[in-house]
Amino acid sequence: MDSQFFAIRVTGGQEENVANFIYKNAILNENEVYSLTYLTSQKGYLIVEAKSGQDIREAIAGIRHVKELVPGLLKIEDFDKLLIKKPTITEYSVGEVVDIVMGPFKGMKAKITKIDLSKMEVTVMLLDAPYPLSLTVDSSYLKPPKNR
């Protein structure tokens, strides 16, 4: 039989703790729970993949911060796009003009001269500076221009 996806409503901020408790419970009770997922965009909810609702009810029994097992089933298509997230650095390319959104150079435009994927750092040349100024920043400091 295929696995089924259920949502569990939990206390906000306790999602990871609850997931860890369900994980331990499911192993102890030998419930057929296959995976637990916490999406940061869905605060207060956990997605549990299991053979049946009964397996989940047993695994969540007695765990604090679990509010309810949401009635109904989820499909993997409902949340699969939220599971695969590409790091923002892969969106950039050398030569592209970007906006700096953090740090002392916030608000300036810069041209990308080098991308270091292993360190998630980008070297840029400031365009608004009166003289050529090169700096290496974290990719989170940059934002693609709006008219991309």
Secondary element (H or E) of residue 53 = helix 53-60
Which residue of 13, 87, 103, 145 would you call a contact of other proteins, by CB under 8 A? 87
Nearer to other proteins (CB atom), residue 23 or residue 133: 23
Residue 85 makes contact with other proteins by CB under 8 A: yes
Q: Kindly list the distances between the CA atom of residue 38 and the CA atoms of 9, 78, 121, in Å, as whole numbers in the listed order.
A: 11, 14, 27
CB of 99 to other proteins, least distance (A): 18
User: Of the candidates 63, 69, 74, 120, which one interacts with other proteins according to CB under 8 A?
Assistant: 120
Number of residues that this document lists for the chain: 148
Cα–Cα distance measured from residue 141 to residue 86, given in angstroms and rounded to the nearest whole number = 17
Residue 40 engages other proteins in binding (rule: CB under 8 A): yes
Q: What SS3 state is found at 136?
A: strand
22: which residues sit within 8 A by CB, 6+ positions away? 8, 33, 36, 46, 48, 59, 60, 63
Given the rule CB under 8 A, which of 20-28, 65-73, 90-98, 105-113 is the region that contacts other proteins?
A: 20-28
Q: Which of 80, 130, 131, 147 binds other proteins (CB under 8 A)?
A: 80
Note the residues at the interface with other proteins (CB under 8 A): 2-3, 15-16, 19-20, 23, 26-27, 32-40, 49, 76, 80, 82-85, 87-88, 118, 120, 139-140
